[in-house]
């Protein structure tokens, strides 16, 4: 696609996919507009970059559809001083959006290849992004606390060991369930070990990967 085609495709994505899904927050719309989504897909996928679909990125993982990404960003209500944990770097597109909206992003990816590719795409604009590779459940003990946690893979139940990383009033987005029923949810930490839960929408995405299949996903 030439530049004019890309600009029109981006405009159509926002007006025909994202806005109709009740994403009206101008900060989110401006970020989606400003981050070049076409740079986060392979050359052979350029024509799919703005499509209403999940785009395979390797290792059984996908780039979420634009409307799901936008709803996630809107639900998290990210503030300029927020420290953010992203679980699942993937293509790096959401990483870039989070970095523009918040103060600092720590992005954890299970696969070295995906993390390295995302880091390469985001340099030299990755000054407020830290890239980690490995199993989030093994890394959790070495992490700090966060105002926002965005989980980009689905989990069968709530995430054990991750919720404690939230600051008070912190927000956690994750997609919970198993095919064919999954629900995107937002958890807000209102007090120690106390969370407000909000169901947002239904969707299906690949699972969050862990080396331990015995992990219990619960708060």
Q: Which residue has the higher pLDDT, 4 or 87?
A: 87
CA triple 179-46-74, angle to 5 deg: 55
Bridge partner list, 109: 133
Within-domain flag for 71: yes
Q: Is residue 9 part of a domain?
A: no
Residue 30 maps to a domain:
no
> What does the alpha-carbon distance between residue 103 and residue 124 come to, in Å, rounded to a whole number?
17
User: Sorting pLDDT into bands at 50, 70 and 90, what band is 193?
Assistant: confident
Number of domains in the chain: 1
Which domain, by its residues, includes 86? 54-202
Q: What is the pLDDT of residue 123?
A: 85
Residue 123: DSSP 8-state: T
In a domain, 123, yes or no: yes
Residue 155 contacts residue 213 (beta carbons within 8 Å): no
Indicate if the alpha-carbon torsion angle 114, 55, 62, 59 is positive or negative: negative
Assigned domain for 5 exists? no
pLDDT at 215: 47
CA distance 216 to 219: 9
Listed residue (151, 26, 137) closest to 88, CA to CA: 151
Does the pLDDT of residue 71 top 70, yes or no? yes
Q: For the domain that residue 108 is a member of, what is the CATH number? A: 3.40.50.150
The answer to whether position 46 is within a domain reads: no
Band of residue 35 on the pLDDT scale cut at 50, 70, 90: very high
């Amino acid at each position: 696609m030439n530049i004019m085609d890309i600009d029109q495709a981006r405009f159509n994505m926002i007006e025909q996919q994202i806005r109709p899904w009740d994403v009206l927050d101008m900060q989110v719309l401006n970020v989606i507009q400003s981050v070049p989504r076409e740079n986060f897909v392979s050359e052979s996928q350029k024509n799919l970059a703005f499509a209403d679909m999940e785009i395979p990125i390797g290792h059984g993982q996908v780039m979420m559809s634009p409307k799901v990404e936008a709803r996630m960003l809107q639900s998290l209500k990210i503030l300029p001083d927020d420290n953010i944990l992203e679980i699942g770097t993937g293509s790096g597109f959401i990483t870039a959006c989070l970095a523009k909206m918040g103060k600092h992003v720590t992005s954890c990816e299970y696969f070295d290849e995906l993390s390295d590719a995302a880091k390469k795409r985001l340099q030299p604009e990755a000054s407020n992004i830290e890239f980690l590779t490995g199993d989030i459940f093994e890394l959790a003990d070495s992490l700090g606390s966060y105002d926002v946690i965005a989980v980009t893979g689905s989990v069968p139940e709530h995430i054990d060991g991750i919720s404690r990383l939230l600051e008070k009033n912190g927000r956690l987005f994750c997609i919970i369930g198993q095919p064919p029923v999954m629900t995107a949810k937002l958890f807000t930490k209102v007090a120690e070990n106390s969370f407000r839960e909000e169901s947002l929408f239904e969707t299906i995405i690949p699972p969050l990967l862990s080396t331990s299949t015995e992990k219990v996903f619960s708060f």
